[in-house]
Amino acid sequence: MSSTFYNKNAANLADLYLSKSFDQVHSTWLEFLSPVLNKPDARILDIGAGAGRDSKRMAELGSVNNTAITAIEPAQRLAELGEKYTRGLNVQWLQDSLPSLSVVTQQEISFDLILLSAVWMHIPATDRARSLRKLANLLKPGGKLVISLRHGPSGDQRIMHKVSADELVQLGKSVGLLPLLITANDSDKLGREAVHWQTVVLQLPDDGSGAFPFIRHMALPGLNADNSSVDDLFEALLLQRGRLKEMQ
């Protein structure tokens, strides 16, 4: 995804994104957020964090239990605005992007919840399988992946690809993620008649031992299907080391 449009229009986009509240935009899946925020020291990854609306609200809601938010935004100007908007809260900003997520992977931490709000339509179909593997690698056992799907035309020069809940669920299953929620199409909160949204929530199973994320990468077929698979396995091992550190 090119960041040019977002850097050039950062101020206007920030005003647009902040015109609607977190609760207005994400009402369909909030039942899955509360248990995460109630956990001590939970970690949340906000990919495509934009102007910081979602990161700010989740950090505020989780402040009592020391919830830590990692905000990922590839557009530097937008990230700068987001960092100002969340200043003073437990939010760390990183410049990174799918499908590689190389910067966040090097942090050697895993997450209780990963949010991709208005991101998936920017990922070409050829990058989606790898993106799901990366995201699954970053989840803690029992962790949840929340992805909003935009249906409808771009309306400007941004490239947006067609998305499908069925495709996303199948890609998730291929890396061991199970569907918890697939919403019906919902109207656009900004009033764009040709645009509709869905939300898909996927979960990494937890067998109680914390070993499933590691075993999954050794057992699932197709691991060596492309040139990125060796890197993915290395990152899975790296993240597993981070998980073991967290358990000690």
CA distance 116 to 97: 11
Check residue 188 and give its pLDDT: 79
Check residue 156 and give its pLDDT: 78
| pLDDT tens figures, 81-120 | 999 999 999 999 999 999 999 999 999 999 999 999 999 9
Check residue 221 and give its pLDDT: 45
Can you tell me the mean pLDDT for 168-190? 93
Model pTM?
A: 0.84
Residue 77 pLDDT more than 80? yes
Check residue 3 and give its pLDDT: 84
Give the CA distances from residue 153 to residues 68, 121, 163, 172, 197, in Å, rounded to whole numbers and listed in that order. Answer: 35, 10, 11, 25, 12
pLDDT band at 246 (very low <50, low <70, confident <90, very high): low
Superfamily of 4-247 according to CATH: Vaccinia Virus protein VP39 (3.40.50.150)
| pLDDT tens figures, 146-175 | 999 999 887 777 889 999 999 999 999 999
Token pair 């291929």 is found at: 174
pLDDT band at 232 (very low <50, low <70, confident <90, very high): low
Cβ contact 202:217 at 8 Å = no
Give the gyration radius of the chain's Cα atoms.
Answer: 17
- Spatial CA neighbour of 218 closest among 163, 137, 121, 107: 137
Residue 219 DSSP SS3: helix
CA distance 222 to 216: 12
